């Protein structure tokens, strides 16, 4: 049977497969969060239900089954841009699970095309089977990302006076210029962002995963969007999203000149705004090594 959109009758089976996969990460073929934190990428049944009964929302649910047995399922985020983001794709870890995931991805691609989507994004673990499954389904890799985590909210004050301010809608052009200046062309071609996506007053698409931030957008709330530098010549930005439900806090920092000290100060300024009680995470791409050094210096691992 080909992959299909899930229905309310599938709720129990989909929830059971996702719960099983969280205890056996070998079945995670894609996740918006790293495997140890993948629970934050799984929606609760109250969020799943509207998508299953056809209510237009941000979450879509797909599955693939064989002879009545559910073999793989995926939660897909339908955001504000013509693209879908796979929040989690789980498959049975037994033989045939990867084949089911491939058929599921093919079904999702077809549904996306029918819905007018131009791109599908997914964060795939660094495992040969998961990578090969996505490559066979027509996906390609455009960047690598490493997640850092601190088990508690950093409490240190910035080492110097931070002159960063909250970004506003009028800063969209400057933020877009900063993005193009600090992002490899291959990544820009894959993400297809424009200046309107950087308008914080309208929650532009750049502030949805997987672009400037990572994680599950349905379980995060933006706390801050700081920019450092003069108009038309930004030096850095820092985003902070507080986690809800089982999702960790997420922060993202980037500087234009590899300034590790500035990155550390912005990390501190951002993290201090998070409510206490849950871990703080930060995704770092392969071209942001200086941010990785700043995170390690701040106690992230």
**Residue at a domain's end among 85, 113, 141:** 141
Residues 219 and 199 in one domain: yes
Residues 153 and 290 in one domain: yes
pLDDT confidence tier of residue 17, bands split at 50, 70 and 90? very high
- As given in the structure block, the two tokens for residue 205 are 């698409």
pTM of the entire predicted model: 0.93
Nearest-angstrom CA–CA distance, 169 and 199: 5
Q: Is residue 134 predicted with pLDDT exceeding 70? A: yes
pLDDT confidence tier of residue 160, bands split at 50, 70 and 90? low
* Structural domain total, the chain: 2
**Residue at a domain's end among 112, 141, 170:** 141
Domain extent, residue 284, equals: 147-297
**Residue at a domain's end among 114, 141, 168:** 141
Whole-number pLDDT of residue 154: 66
Tens of pLDDT along 217-228? Answer: 989 999 999 999
Tens of pLDDT along 230-263? Answer: 877 899 999 999 999 899 999 999 999 899 999 9
Tens of pLDDT along 89-124? Answer: 999 988 889 999 999 999 999 999 999 999 999 999
Q: CATH number of the domain that 202 lies in?
A: 3.40.630
Residues 69 and 181 in one domain: no
Residues 120 and 151 in one domain: no
């Amino acid at each position: 049977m080909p992959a299909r959109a899930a229905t309310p009758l599938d709720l129990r089976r989909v929830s059971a497969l996702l719960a099983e996969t969280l205890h056996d990460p070998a079945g995670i073929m894609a996740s918006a969060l790293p495997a140890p934190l993948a629970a934050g990428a799984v929606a609760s049944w109250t969020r799943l239900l509207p998508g299953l009964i056809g209510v237009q929302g941000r979450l879509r649910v797909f599955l693939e089954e064989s002879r009545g047995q559910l073999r793989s399922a995926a939660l897909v985020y339908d955001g504000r841009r013509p693209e879908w983001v796979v929040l989690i794709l789980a498959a049975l870890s037994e033989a045939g699970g990867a084949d089911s995931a491939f058929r599921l991805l093919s079904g999702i691609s077809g549904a996306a095309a029918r819905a007018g989507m131009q791109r599908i994004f997914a964060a795939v673990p660094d495992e040969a089977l998961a990578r090969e499954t996505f490559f066979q389904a027509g996906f390609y890799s455009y960047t690598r990302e490493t997640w850092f985590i601190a088990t508690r909210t950093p409490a240190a004050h910035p080492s110097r006076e931070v002159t960063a301010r909250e970004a506003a809608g009028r800063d969209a052009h400057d933020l877009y210029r900063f993005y193009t200046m600090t992002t490899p062309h291959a990544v820009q071609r894959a993400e297809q962002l424009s200046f309107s996506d950087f308008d914080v007053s309208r929650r532009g698409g750049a502030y949805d995963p997987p672009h400037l931030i990572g994680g599950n957008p349905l379980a995060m709330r933006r706390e801050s969007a700081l920019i450092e530098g003069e108009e038309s010549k930004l030096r850095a930005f820092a985003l902070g999203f507080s986690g809800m439900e089982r999702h960790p806090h997420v922060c993202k920092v980037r500087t234009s000149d590899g300034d590790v000290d500035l990155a550390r100060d912005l990390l501190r300024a951002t993290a201090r705004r998070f409510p206490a009680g849950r871990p703080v995470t930060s995704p770092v791409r392969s071209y942001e090594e200086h941010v990785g050094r700043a995170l390690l210096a701040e106690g992230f691992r």
